[in-house]
Amino acid sequence: MPMNLLDHVSPWQLAQSGQRIQGQVPFTCIPRLGSELLDKEGFAEAELSFSCYRESRCFVQGHVKARLRLTCQRCLQPVDIVIDTQIQLELMVSETEIYYWHENYEQWIVKPEETASLWRLVEEELLLALPIAVSHPPGECSEIAIPDQNKPNPFYVLKDIETKG
pLDDT the model gives residue 123: 95
Please check the confidence at residue 46 and state whether its pLDDT lies above 50: yes
State the amino acid at position 81 in one-letter form.
Answer: I
Q: In this predicted model, what pLDDT tens digit does every residue of 127-150 receive, in sequence order?
A: 999 999 999 988 888 765 555 567
DSSP H helical ranges for the chain: 11-16, 31-34, 118-129
| CA 59 to chain centroid | 21
Task: Give the model's pLDDT for residue 158.
Answer: 76
Q: What is the CA radius of gyration of the chain?
A: 25
pTM for this structure? 0.78
Query: pLDDT for 70-120, tens place per residue?
Result: 999 989 999 999 999 999 999 988 887 777 767 788 889 999 999 999 999
Tell me whether strands 8-9 and 43-53 are parallel, antiparallel or unpaired.
unpaired
Alpha-carbon separation of residue 58 from 15, 111, 165 (angstroms): 6, 12, 82
Neighbours of 26 (CB within 10 A): 15
